[in-house]
Structure 1
Amino acid sequence: MTWTQNFTPVMDNLYVSALVALIPILYFFWALAVKRMKGYVAGLTTLLVALLVAIFAYGMPAGKAIMSASQGAVYGILPIGWIIITSVFLYKLTVKTGQFDIIRNSVLSITEDRRLQALLVAFSFGAFLEGAAGFGAPVAISAALLVGLGFNPLYAAGLCLIANTAPVAFGAIGIPIIAVEGPTGIPAMEISKMVGRQLPFLSVFIPFYLIIIMAGWKRTMEVMPAILVSGVSFALTQYLSSNFLGPELPDILSALVSLFALAIFLKFWKPKNIYRFASESEAAATAESAPKTYTGGQIFKAWSPFLVLTATISLWGIPQIKLALQGHYEGTNAILKAVNSIGHSLTFVPEVPGLNNLILNGQGQPIPAVYKLELLAAAGTAILIAALITKFIVNISFKDWFITFGETINELKFPIITIASVVAFAYVTNASGMSTTLGMTLAKTGALFPFFSPFLGWLGVFITGSDTSANLLFGNLQKITATSVGMDPILAVAANSSGGVTGKMISPQSIAVACAAVGLAGKESDLFRFTVKHSLFLVTIIGIMTFLQSNVLSWMIP
């Protein structure tokens, strides 16, 4: 029996319905920011609140609400949870075998300054991982690296979440922008051009903002040349690649240019004062008195697990290979056909019982609902293969390899519950129509819509944890509303993606991923309190920029 979504279920009034739809979101904010609940408790109770609102306020049949939660929970475990498990596992292998000590030393040989380490690892290397893999891998791996270098875990997670704003719109080989072409009918290249005329301004600002957060104004000025090299090289490459090559490569190219530009620059320039955290000054002085030196071969071996990781997740992102891993390749290449055969046997897409095509959207169209289990194509599997290759590089026994894997799963059991529950909450919110109600309310802002347009993307990413999902959720609504208020629809759709990147740092699943990676399971509330003010500040900047581009700087629109 079908059920039709109703976006004004309470008193047949959009605004009252929107207030009711806000209840689960406000509860989640309260649970983390005020009550400081453990992440999995906040996640599970938020899911319960969302189910109650969906059933009793939106009239969604209880069975359908529960099954939509199950669909989200499964997606939270695979692919998202799987990425976290394998990322942390790979990192733990390098720690357990002593290779991370060499990695730490090699970074220190470039610079011992904590400000510059944050730029290299959180901003540039994290952006590269975002471009190649997306999902939770960038924050998980770069945050773990910073913790290994000696950063406070909460600080490391927060800095990586904030740094991750610049590359998110072009993440996972451009998927967020490629995906929104479908529902909007606007060519991905045009959206890519517009996003590439918004985010570079943020990309220049983010390195500066990161160091301000870390060290304050005076110490930021001390490394301004390095900040400019890092940010300007990234932003310029991001603009050029997004406007002349397309949405697939801006992150990877920008990250590599930024990483190498800063590393080369630091060979010739050093800050006058080395910045360290107050708690480590004594330890740092001790370390300086007996510096260790390693050969080039030792350094290469230590970094090899992450070089292999880069290779595998880049390989998994190549469109033709991705199709083969999913079992959808139709070409003639013999190797890819063999991979396709394996991928097909390891891909399962069962219908969600009691839900698939049984919910009708506002246009009366059935909404498909499947459990998407791509065991081989998942980015986590690419990372697991990197971890398997690492076993032979670092010469760890299979027994210890499996023991470390077991330890990783045991450490991450509560974060995985958190991730599964918050993604389930997102799915309930979408299936019931709550998120559409909120989107329609923001779309009623009339002449101010260009300012609020990015907030719609911000809200979408907060709810779903994904810029891709937010674009699919609100992309067409942005286009329709923009046309009705006299705003260029290309700008509105691009603003959805650009605004969405600032919501990533407070998305429940991003918070859970970051805490899991740095061993702060249960401390999600602390990280949320750290990032929420920065998220609101940055989305406001995007809102002002979009308003100006719509009304004053319209020549910037392609």
Structure 2
Amino acid sequence: MALFTGVVFSVFQFLCSNYFSYELTDIVASLVAMAAAVAFLRFWHPGGGEQAAERMRGELAAAKASGWTPAGGGGDAEIGSAATDTAGDTLTPSRAWMALFPYVLVIVIFGFVNLWTLGVNVPEVLARTSIEIPWPWLHDSLLDANGERLSSTVYNFEWLISPGTLLLISGLIVAAVYSRFDDNGRYPLSMGEAVKEIWTTARRMTSAALTILAVLALAYVMNNSGQTVSIGTWLAATGAFFAFLSPVLGWIGTAVTGSDTSANALFARLQETAGAAAGLDPKLMIAANTGGGVMGKLISPQNLAIAAAAVNMSGQESVLLRKVFGWSVALLAALCIIVFLQSTPVLSWMLP
């Protein structure tokens, strides 16, 4: 099952990133993989399902005996099955659609904003709403190696077309729809509750946001001061072997910062410089940085904390770390080998 959905996910990730909209790559691939998994299970059924359910019932009973209660405060949680489901547990087409609605809406909104050009060039119109803000004391004061003024001293404030704004709009639309969705006479969400939850989430993310801002600021300092170019030139001395080391930088960057985006901001310029100096494809090196960052997600403290909290294991992040560390290293090693082979005639045909 994992192999099948992984293959489907990879194929549609490739197609979406190259031919549709790279902003929606993971969302489209995830939805298609989910649909493919449902269809696959119509024809293939894993063995041992009832035994697994029985084992989970035993674990649940033991957890209850030790005083544990499920998130949300209910003490009557049970492991159900198709045979024991009540009418209230049945997955109806309307419930399935409402569960998928947020993801479909995100695809529609992002596709409209980034791709719609029938009659009106929406991306161009929305891009005009961006506000350019020159950084005080820095604008027109920083020069590149050729003596030209750096354009990075102007901040482009994309208040409307920013992915964050589009996601916020999507969330508000979802809340409005959910507030009118009648599920057996119950309205599960009000608009006021949704706005309150958005604000609460934003407050919880304050430290994470400040961390990302600090990392991005560091990236600008390193790039504009020439530090990344210097380090990249030094790493280029490893020659063709740098292709093997390239994913490791992304792995380290994401493991430390918790964000693949932050790792790219820190090391993308370095990867490009080192790759070009070593005679390697700079685009492959940047892609390797991103791929290595995905492997670093598994062991990032921030991501471990989120995963632990999601399954009522707060304070047991070390347990998850021990479980996934070996997988993270093994997957990183596999990626390093693949990137190295892609930099040679063996797998160079894979590159666009």
Of the three residues 36, 51, 60, the one matched with 1:280 is: 60
- Alignment of structure 1 residues 255-334 onto 2, 5 Å: 255-274=30-49, 275-276=52-53, 277=56, 279-280=59-60, 284=78, 290-293=84-87, 299-318=92-111, 321-322=113-114, 332-333=119-120
Which structure features the higher share of helix residues? 1
What residue identity is the alignment partner of 2:42? K
Structure 1 equivalent of residue 159 of structure 2: 374
CA shift for structure 1 position 235: 3.5
Of the three residues 278, 296, 319, the one matched with 1:485 is: 278
1:78-119, Cα deviation, whole Å (9 max, x unpaired): xxxxxxxxxxxxxxxxxxxxxxxxxxxxxxxxxxxxxxxxxx
Of the three residues 146, 163, 174, the one matched with 1:386 is: 174
Inter-partner Cα distance in structure 1 for 2:4 and 2:266:
36
Whether contact under 8 Å (2:258, 2:300) holds in the other structure is yes
- Structure 2 residue 215 is the aligned partner of structure 1 residue 426: yes
Whether contact under 8 Å (1:459, 1:503) holds in the other structure is yes
CA shift for structure 1 position 512: 6.3
Inter-partner Cα distance in structure 2 for 1:288 and 1:242:
35
Structure 2 equivalent of residue 544 of structure 1: 337
Inter-partner Cα distance in structure 2 for 1:362 and 1:355:
16
Inter-partner Cα distance in structure 2 for 1:519 and 1:402:
27
Inter-partner Cα distance in structure 2 for 1:532 and 1:373:
38
What residue identity is the alignment partner of 2:293? G
CA shift for structure 1 position 474: 3.9
Structure 2 equivalent of residue 217 of structure 1: none
- Alignment of structure 1 residues 365-514 onto 2, 5 Å: 365-366=149-150, 367-370=152-155, 372=157, 374-375=159-160, 377=162, 378=165, 379-394=167-182, 396=187, 400-403=190-193, 405-406=195-196, 409-410=199-200, 413=203, 415-433=204-222, 436=228, 439=232, 442-462=235-255, 467=260, 470-471=263-264, 474-507=267-300, 510=303
Inter-partner Cα distance in structure 1 for 2:28 and 2:287:
20
Tell me the TM-score normalized by structure 1: 0.46
RMSD: 4.5
Describe the SS at the equivalent of 1:392. Answer: coil
**Please, which moves more after superposition, 442-451 or 518-527?**
518-527
Distance 1:340 1:245, change over 3 A: closer
Whether contact under 8 Å (2:102, 2:174) holds in the other structure is yes
Distance 1:375 1:464, change over 3 A: farther
Structure 1 equivalent of residue 71 of structure 2: none
Whether contact under 8 Å (2:268, 2:286) holds in the other structure is yes
Describe the SS at the equivalent of 1:496. Answer: helix
CA shift for structure 1 position 449: 0.7
Inter-partner Cα distance in structure 1 for 2:280 and 2:231:
20
**Structure 2 residue runs without a partner (length 5+):** 63-76
What residue identity is the alignment partner of 2:45? K
What residue identity is the alignment partner of 2:3? L
User: Higher Cα Rg: structure 1 or 2?
Assistant: 2
Identity of aligned residues (%): 28
Higher RCO structure (Cα 8 Å, ≥6 apart): 1
Whether contact under 8 Å (1:412, 1:516) holds in the other structure is no
Inter-partner Cα distance in structure 2 for 1:311 and 1:411:
22
What residue identity is the alignment partner of 1:381? I
Inter-partner Cα distance in structure 2 for 1:246 and 1:403:
35
Distance 1:271 1:513, change over 3 A: closer
1:157-201, Cα deviation, whole Å (9 max, x unpaired): xxxxxxxxxxxxxxxxxxxxxxxxxxxxxxxxxxxxxxxxxxxxx
1:258-304, Cα deviation, whole Å (9 max, x unpaired): 323321222233222123445237865677774213598x7233344
1:188-219, Cα deviation, whole Å (9 max, x unpaired): xxxxxxxxxxxxxxxxxxxxxxxxxxxxxxxx
Describe the SS at the equivalent of 2:331. Answer: helix
Distance 1:267 1:528, change over 3 A: same
Distance 1:441 1:464, change over 3 A: farther
Inter-partner Cα distance in structure 1 for 2:170 and 2:264:
26
Aligned pair count reads 319
Describe the SS at the equivalent of 2:274. Answer: helix
Inter-partner Cα distance in structure 1 for 2:188 and 2:347:
61
- Alignment of structure 1 residues 74-93 onto 2, 5 Å: none
CA shift for structure 1 position 426: 0.7
CA shift for structure 1 position 544: 1.8
Whether contact under 8 Å (1:439, 1:456) holds in the other structure is no
Distance 1:530 1:397, change over 3 A: closer
